[in-house]
Amino acid sequence: MSFELEVPGASRWDVRGRGEQPLYDVSVEAIGAHGEAIDAAARRVGFRAVALVQEPDAAGRRFEIHVNGARVWARGFNWIPADVLPERVTRERVRSLVAEAAATGATMLRVWGGGIIESDDFYDACDELGILVWQDYSFACAAYAEDEDQVARVRREVEDAVVRVGHRASLALWCGCNENLWGYEDWGWKEKLNGAGWGAHLYHDVIPGVLAALDPHRPYIPGSPFSPDPDRHPNDETQGTTHHWDTWDQLDYVHFEDKRSRFASEFGWQAPASWATLVTGIGHEPTSGADPDLQRLQKHPEGAAALDRAIADHVPHPPTDGRGWYLATQLVQARALRAAIGRFRSLHDTCSGALWWQLDDCWPAMSWSVIDAAGRRKLAWYAAAEVMAARAVITTADGDPHGLTLVNDVPEAWQVTGRLAVVDERGTILHEDRLDVTVPADGHAVVRPTVVPAGAAAIVVDAGELRAARWIVPDLALSHPEAALEIEAVEVARGRVDIAVRAESLVRDLVILAETEPGLGDACADRQLVLLLPGERATLTVRGEGVEALDPSRWACLLAAGTALRIS
């Protein structure tokens, strides 16, 4: 039984940053022939239109999520179960994790097919915070049977999911599976299966058949990665969605500069959990990156080698101690995230989404998350907040070796005033241009210096309160002069410390490692990865229980800017 009900004057629900998120309580009661209540249901709904646009264009075929008739550039993360035992995950923890995503500027979370149809708490948070949900069905990285019993089970599972969460305003896209279409093509399944069913019938016929009857107005795709053209490879960069794992598995994050995608739905880079979580996980402070106890937290078969390779590729004086290794891996992950999401956002008109693998974690692992299993931020979270903001300065531009991209995923134009400064690695300004540009609504603009003198190491863009630097010399080709810092003042209040820092030379990615102090594992800085030119000042605020009790002299030891660790 179905019926239509008009709601005069209802306001539209929209994505965060693009509108409000009004929600309405709806109650439905079935009345029997004698006036008795037979059944009842209550839901909270939002009114909005969602569509998937896959029209051909000059670059192949678009893959765009449209909400209320407008393209939404999907910035966000993949979501995995927040605990190995989902029953232990509280409403507060779910809300906190979704809020951490929102705080970076994310507009979408993809619920990975190796997980579950999430709890109502998850969709409540996404509805209220304006985060779109891409929901995989629970098929991932494997071949699945297609017999009658399996088909019946899948139909029931799809029906149950639609009944339970299909009313959600945040739910924008159903997806049949994770990487199974790709696996069939490239992972040797064809030869092993020898014609046997592997799940294609489920993704192409069974699931969409049920959805056509129960949820016909919400978009569906059979898998990710996937190409709508069956003659194309599932991971074809000209259409559909793509996953990018050769950078982490084999290459280096600088090779994201070569990537293209219409919608990059999975890619990532590893780093350990935050210091306090890591120490708890192995029972002691790691002695170095080679500490054998660390390997218990590494489940990628070549993960340890990949972390070592990344440090060797980007850190000219690799640290040999445990804390130095921790900072190096965290810093490389942050720079990898900048490079990856930055690349896809710089392809603003032809790419419509970038979803980092992953937001959260379910145990104290070496993993690709930006929030660890204890809910603590890694350095990569701060990088995400830079490059996922609705208005951001991206440190790359397609085909331009000296360009940066101003992206504006806001439905109003952005008037940008500021400067471009070309600097050497000591921070001396070699050339400067005034920046005055209008970035159109839901658009982008490329900026570049008029001159790049010899000896240039980086191009620094200041756009209002935003700052970003494009390093045009490879990390290992820099001489890495010692960064010089001076703490000018430490202001203390209950649960808060403000640390004022002055740079005497160029400081690249200034961080404060408050979490490495005993008893301050939950301390959190408001800023990290700060770039300072000589003579500039910055104030970093650290909050957390007990931070005010730390000896003020210790804060100088917790600042890392290329001095003690020679990571600059």
Q: Which residues, in sequence order, are CB contacts of 216 under 8 Å at separation 6+? A: none
Within 10 angstroms of residue 523's Cβ, the number of other Cβ atoms is: 24
Backbone angles phi, psi at 498, to 5 degrees: -105, 125
Q: Give the alpha-carbon dihedral of 234, 239, 242, 246, to 10 degrees.
A: 80
Q: What is the pLDDT of residue 242?
A: 98
Q: Which residues, in sequence order, are CB contacts of 316 under 8 Å at separation 6+? A: 475, 476, 478, 480, 566
Q: What is the pLDDT of residue 100?
A: 98
d(CA 532, CA 382): 16
Between 128 and 484, residue with greater pLDDT? 128
**Is 18 exposed, middle or buried, given 0-12, 13-18 or 19+ CB atoms closer than 10 A?**
middle
74-87 mean pLDDT: 96
Q: How far is CA 347 from the centre of its chain?
A: 17
Element (H, E) at 31: strand 24-31
Element (H, E) at 103: helix 91-104
Backbone angles phi, psi at 329, to 5 degrees: -70, -40
d(CA 322, CA 549): 25
Q: What is the pLDDT of residue 1?
A: 65
CB 541 within 8 A of CB 490: no
**Domains of the chain listed by start with CATH number:** 70-271+337-390 (3.20.20.80), 394-477 (2.60.40.10), 485-560 (2.60.40.10)
| Residue 379 per-residue DSSP state | H
Mean pLDDT of the chain: 95
Whether residue 566 has pLDDT greater than 60: no
Q: What is the pLDDT of residue 567?
A: 39
46-70 mean pLDDT: 97
pLDDT in tens, 88-130: 999 999 999 999 999 999 999 999 999 999 999 999 999 999 9
Q: What is the pLDDT of residue 316?
A: 85
d(CA 517, CA 297): 22
DSSP 175-221: ES-BSHHHHHHHSSHHHHHTT---SHHIIIIIHHHHHHHH-TTS-EE
d(CA 359, CA 40): 37
Whether residue 277 has pLDDT greater than 80: yes
pLDDT in tens, 138-195: 999 999 999 999 999 999 999 999 999 999 999 999 999 999 999 999 999 999 999 9
Of 228, 293, 292, 236, the residue nearest 264 (C-alpha): 236
d(CA 288, CA 321): 5
pLDDT in tens, 431-480: 999 999 999 999 999 999 999 999 999 999 999 999 999 999 999 999 88
- 271-272/366-367 β-pairing: antiparallel
pLDDT in tens, 415-424: 999 999 999 9
Of 89, 95, 103, 178, the residue nearest 363 (C-alpha): 89
Of 560, 515, 179, the residue nearest 376 (C-alpha): 515
Between 8 and 130, residue with greater pLDDT? 130
Whether residue 306 has pLDDT greater than 70: yes
Upper half-sphere CA count for residue 9 (Cβ side, 13 Å): 0
In total, the chain counts a number of residues equal to 568
Q: What is the pLDDT of residue 564?
A: 39
Please give, one letter per residue, the 3-state secondary structure of 41-68.
EEEEECECCEEEECCEECCEECCEEEEC
CA distances from 11 to 66, 143, 166, 169 (A): 18, 44, 20, 12
d(CA 179, CA 88): 28
Q: Give the alpha-carbon dihedral of 341, 347, 351, 355, to 10 degrees.
A: 0
Q: What is the pLDDT of residue 565?
A: 44
Q: Which residues, in sequence order, are CB contacts of 534 under 8 Å at separation 6+? A: 426, 427, 428, 503, 504, 505, 506
Question: Which pTM value belongs to this model?
Answer: 0.96
Task: Tell me the β-bridge partners of 493.
Answer: 496
Q: Which residue type occupies 110?
A: R
| Residue 150 per-residue DSSP state | H
Of 139, 131, 284, the residue nearest 200 (C-alpha): 139
Q: What is the pLDDT of residue 280?
A: 95
Q: Which residues, in sequence order, are CB contacts of 50 under 8 Å at separation 6+? A: 65, 66, 67, 172, 173, 217, 218, 219
308-329 mean pLDDT: 92
Of 464, 459, 409, the residue nearest 436 (C-alpha): 464
Percent helix, strand and coil across the chain, each rounded to 5? 25, 30, 45
Whether residue 482 has pLDDT greater than 90: no
Q: Model confidence at 2, in pLDDT bands (50, 70, 90)? A: confident
Of 353, 369, 349, the residue nearest 361 (C-alpha): 369
d(CA 117, CA 101): 19
Within 10 angstroms of residue 4's Cβ, the number of other Cβ atoms is: 4
